[in-house]
Amino acid sequence: MPSPQIRIEPTEADVPNAAVVALRSRFAAVRAELELDAPYPADAVAEAERVAVEPTHLPTRDLTDLPFWTLDPASSMDLDQALHLQRDGDGHRIRYAIADVPAFVRPGGALDVATRSRAQTVYCPDERVPLHPAVLSEGAASLLPGQVRPAYVWDLRLDGDGAVTTVHVERAMVRSRDRQDYDTVQAQVDAGTNDERFLLLREIGERRLMQERARGGASLPIPEQQVRITGDGGFALEFRPPVPAEDWNAQISLATGMSAARLMLDAGIGLLRTMPPPSEGSLDWYRRQAKALGAPWRPGTAYGEFIRTLDRTDPHHLALLHAAAGLFRGAGYTPFDGVTPAAPTHAAVAAPYAHVTAPLRRLVDRFGLVLCADICAGQDPQEWVRSALPDLPQLMAEGGRAAAAAERACADATEAGVLMGLVGGTLNAVVLERAPKAVIVQLLDLPIVERARGAGRPGRPVSVRVDSADIAAGAVELSVVPAPAPTASG
C-alpha cells in the first residue's frame, strides 16, 4: 500500500516565506537525525555508472515492437512499470513490463550491499533519498519513453469478469513509446477520449475493482497531503484527492502482485507481503473519527464497503482516507521455503500478495522478480535469491522504520507550520479518545489529529486553543477550552 506524501506548493522560490524556509530546514534536519543524508557510497556509485553503460546480462527476447506506455505522477523519473493492454475475447490481456533492476545489480557487489542497507526509497516533502543511484533509477534502468530497456514482462490474461486466468513472466527488451500522468489521463477519460489505451485501463481497472469488492478487499486511495501557501503568507493544509485513473493503475499492480504470490505458493518458495486484519481497538478508533467528521460508519458495513462510500471531493472524507492507513498495522514480509505460511494473506488485499512491481524503489521486488521468472521457466531458484529470503524481512523492516519516522517527523513539522499562525486562537474539534491528563482530538477544519491537554468524552465536540507551534521541534501544544459554567436561573 502506498504511503501518504506531503507536497509544498508553491516553493519559496515562488513565494518568499520564512516558515517555508524553516520547514525545509526541518526536513533536512530530519534526514540528518535519521542518518538518511549520507552520500551514496562511492564504490556503489562507481559500479552503477559502469553497469549503466554495460549491464551485466541482457535478455535475448525482443518485445520492442509492442507499444508500451507508462503512467505515473507527472514529476516522476524512476519509472518502474510500463503497460500494454489489449482485448482478449470477452476479457483482456495485460503485458506489464517491470524495470529489470537485476540486470544492473550484481549479487554481492557494492551496489547490492548499498541497496540492502537502504531497503527502500524514502520520500520527504522536499526531496527523496533514493534506493539506487540516479544514474540507474532515473536513467539506465528507468522505463523512460523512447529508450530500449531490459524488463521483466508479466503476461496476464483476464476473463470477462476481470479474474486472472493465466500468468507468465519472463525477461525481454522493451521500449516505452509514451509517458502519461494520472491527471492528464483522467482528464482525457472524463472528456470522452477515444484513446483505446485509456479506455482499456478504465475497463480493466473497474473489473478488477469489482473482483476486489467480491473477495472483501479494500483499496486504500491515500490522498497526498499538500501545504498551500496562502495570499497572506500563511499556510493551508489540504489533501489532494487521488483520481480514479490511479485506482485503475493500482489494480493492475495488485493483480500482478497477487499473481506473483500464487506462483510462489504453488512452487513452495517465496516472500509474501502479509498483514493481519485490523484490531477491534483500531476499528473503534476509526469509527469515532468517521463520526466526528460527519461520515458515520454504519454497523454491519464492511471496512472496504465503507471506504468506497467516501467522497474524495469532501475534505473531511479525504481526511478519513488519510487516517485509514492507521487501521492496518503489523504488515510485514513472510518468507517460506518448502512449508507454506500458516497466514499467507494480506488483509487489505484479502488475498496472498507479493511485492514485485517497484524494484527501483523497493529492495524486495528485485528478488521476487527473479524468483517468479525462474518458477515460470521451470528452473530451480537461484541460490543468491534463496539464501536472501530469510534476511529480507528484517532489512525491509529497518528501512520501513526509517521511512515511517521521516514521514511522521515531516508531517509533525508541517502541522506545526500550519498551526503556527493560529497560536492563541481556538479551533473546533471532536474528542477521539482519552489519554493521561489529555485527550486525542480530531480538528474539524484541518486534517490534523493531535493531543490536547484537558478532559473530554470520546465523541463529544470541544474547542481547543493552540498554545504553541514549533516547526524546528515538530511540536504543537493544544489545550481544551473549558465550557462556560451554566448560569443559575431565576
**365 by DSSP, 3-state: which?**
helix
**C-alpha cell, 16:** 518568499
DSSP one-letter string for 290-319? HHHTT----TT--HHHHHHH--TTSHHHHH
CA angle (369, 374, 380) in 5-degree steps:
135
**111 by DSSP, 3-state: which?**
helix
End-to-end CA distance of the chain: 61
Q: Where are the domains of the chain?
A: 6-210+221-270+330-417, 277-328, 422-480
Output phi, psi for 190, to 5 deg.
-65, -30
List the chain pLDDT tens, one digit each, 490 residues.
333 344 545 444 444 467 778 888 999 999 999 999 899 999 999 999 999 998 878 999 999 999 999 999 888 899 999 999 999 999 999 999 999 999 999 999 999 999 999 999 998 888 889 999 999 999 999 999 999 999 999 999 999 999 999 999 999 999 999 999 999 999 999 999 999 999 999 999 999 999 998 998 887 666 666 666 565 555 566 666 778 999 999 999 999 999 999 999 999 999 999 999 888 888 888 888 788 778 888 888 887 788 878 876 776 776 777 677 777 678 899 999 999 999 999 988 999 999 999 999 999 999 999 999 999 999 999 999 999 999 999 999 999 999 989 988 988 888 898 888 889 999 998 887 788 889 888 888 887 888 999 988 877 889 999 999 999 999 999 999 987 655 555 4
Q: What is the residue type of 372?
A: C
User: Distance between CA 355 and CA 274 in Å, rounded?
Assistant: 10
Residue 14 CA, chain-centre distance (Å), reads: 28
User: Distance between CA 329 and CA 347 in Å, rounded?
Assistant: 10
User: Distance between CA 22 and CA 469 in Å, rounded?
Assistant: 12
CATH: 3.40.50.2300, 1.10.600.10, 2.40.50.140, 3.40.50.800. Which one for 422-480? Answer: 2.40.50.140
- Report the candidate in 56, 154, 153, 60 with the shortest Cα–Cα distance to residue 112: 56
Distances (CA, A) of 1 to 185, 220, 229, 333, 457: 22, 7, 29, 13, 33
Yes or no: say if 215 and 351 are a contact pair by the CB < 8 Å rule.
Answer: yes
Reported pTM? 0.87
CA quadruple 376, 382, 387, 391: dihedral sign: negative
